[in-house]
Amino acid sequence: MSELLQPPEVLPPADPTGRMAEFERIYRANFVTVTSYFARKTGNPQVAADLTADTFVAAITSFASFDPGKGSPRAWLFGIARHVFARHCEITTRGRYVVARLGGYRVLDIDEAAELVDRIDAERPGRVLLNGLATLSAADCEVVELVDMTGLTPKEAATALGISPGALRVRLFRARHKLRKLTESIQTNEKGTTND
């Protein structure tokens, strides 16, 4: 993988066992996954880069309140990413996004933009699946995306969504069943079309 999508190098923390070192480990372990999540969601390299940055700014700001007893760092971080994306969608829907963000974009250089475009292209099958997921409820769609596409464990996804693991398993089963039926229906229609 190119160095462009790796977290930037920083000076080692003064205390390698302290909270900042712990946050840096979380940051480095999840940077690429969070960037991929936003690349899949947006299809825009500038927006994906900005939302990734916003997520980690929000994470470092609230890190003092992070309780590992309530879930894994990854689940906590994706809970923040979901909120950052929801806020982005709300602002975009209202038309304020253009005004609020135009001055805040950091123009990516050619190599960074090309790398993000490559990542977006690599995530294209995920976006195609997300388009197919549009037939599901928002809750079912989000469960499938977090577990099957992003790779969170069901427990981590439940924590990120703020629901019980049992409720998540029910949603996931229901969503996967609907997707299987949809896939079978599409395959049946394609076979009927090719046989004509």
What confidence category does residue 57 fall into, taking pLDDT thresholds of 50, 70 and 90? very high
Dmax over Cα atoms in the chain, in whole Å?
71
The average pLDDT across 13-28 equals: 77
| 179, pLDDT greater than 50 | yes
pLDDT, average across residues 78-90: 92
What pLDDT does 110 receive? 82
The domain defined by 124-196 folds into Arc Repressor Mutant, subunit A (1.10.10)
pLDDT at position 102:
60
Length of the chain: 196
What's the mean per-residue pLDDT of the chain? Answer: 80
d(CA 50, CA 21): 23
Nearest alpha-carbon partner for 52 in 66, 26, 65, 33: 33
CA distances from 162 to 12, 90, 139, 158 (A): 34, 20, 12, 6
Q: Is the pLDDT of residue 100 over 70?
A: no
Position 135 scores a pLDDT of 81
Outline which parts of the chain fall under CATH 1.10.10.10.
124-196
Nearest of 98, 82, 93, 72 to residue 152 by alpha carbon: 72
Asked if 130 and 39 count as a contact pair (C-beta separation under 8 A), the reply is no
Closest CA to 79 of 131, 130, 150, 133: 150
Q: CA–CA separation, 90 vs 84, rounded Å? A: 10
What is the pLDDT confidence band of residue 2, given thresholds at 50, 70 and 90? very low
